[in-house]
Amino acid sequence: MIMTAVVTVIAAYLIGSVNFAVIFTRLFTDRDVRDFGSGNAGATNTLRVAGIVPGLLTFLCDVLKGLLACTLGHYIFEYMLKQGINWAMPIYGAYLCGLACMVGHVFPIFFQFKGGKGVAISVGIYLICSTPAIIIGLLFFAVMVLLTRIVSASSLLATVVVVVFSFVFRDSVAEATPQILMSLAMGTIIFLRHASNIQRLLNGEEKKLNFKGMS
């Protein structure tokens, strides 16, 4: 059964490694999104480089990646629990596969390990792992974007909010530690991937979102 868990986590990593920013930018523009804009293979840079439709498709597919990976982990671990594997709590499987999927998104084996920053995919992950937390986080994100039009700052604020509220809405005291560790790990990945954005924010140089000229 341990091999089953390992294979499931590897499958989640491979799901995350399918980079839709690269795929949709190539389909719509015949360019590599990593060679333009910020160089990031994520939804925001796809929006800037290829336009609204590819950007939205990338965001939606990244969310679906997180949903699929976490759902897979949840059901496989639930099956293992029913087979008498007491440590295989479904929420453990969801978080483990969510984290593996995020790592695959950030370091995709199919795309030279050059991926996105993990924000969109975390939406799908938390829709399974902590729905109330991600709803609150998305509200904070939306308000921050409306006020500042700076996606990176909005994403970082939303990340902190989601991590904090995932603690608040944890399933039980017994399951709290794995949930906290996984949430902190995913939050740390997002912040590390935004290191250059944080520096530009501190310098007042971060670009604002602009829909003019996008199609």
- In this predicted structure, the answer to whether residue 55 has a pLDDT above a threshold of 60 is yes
- In this predicted structure, the answer to whether residue 2 has a pLDDT above a threshold of 90 is no
- The tens digit of pLDDT for each residue in 182-212 reads 889 999 999 999 999 999 999 988 888 775 5
Whole-structure pTM value: 0.89
Looking at residue 94, its pLDDT comes to: 92
Q: How far apart are CA 150 and CA 159, in angstroms?
A: 14
Neighbours of 131 (CB within 10 A): 11
Q: Which has more pLDDT, 89 or 175?
A: 89
Looking at residue 213, its pLDDT comes to: 47
- The tens digit of pLDDT for each residue in 115-159 reads 999 999 999 999 998 899 999 999 999 999 999 989 899 999 999
Identity of residue 44: T
- The tens digit of pLDDT for each residue in 162-175 reads 999 988 887 665 56
- In this predicted structure, the answer to whether residue 30 has a pLDDT above a threshold of 70 is yes
Q: How confident is the model at residue 29 (pLDDT cuts 50, 70, 90)?
A: very high
Looking at residue 90, its pLDDT comes to: 87
- In this predicted structure, the answer to whether residue 214 has a pLDDT above a threshold of 70 is no
Q: Which has more pLDDT, 177 or 208?
A: 208
Taking residues 17-29, report their average pLDDT: 95
Report the share of the chain in percent with pLDDT over 90: 68
Contacts for 153-156 with beta carbons within 8 Å, 24 or more apart?
Answer: 153/197, 153/201, 153/206, 155/117, 155/119, 155/190, 155/194, 156/190, 156/191, 156/194, 156/197, 156/198
Looking at residue 215, its pLDDT comes to: 46
Helix axis angle for 176-193 and 195-203, nearest 10°, is 60
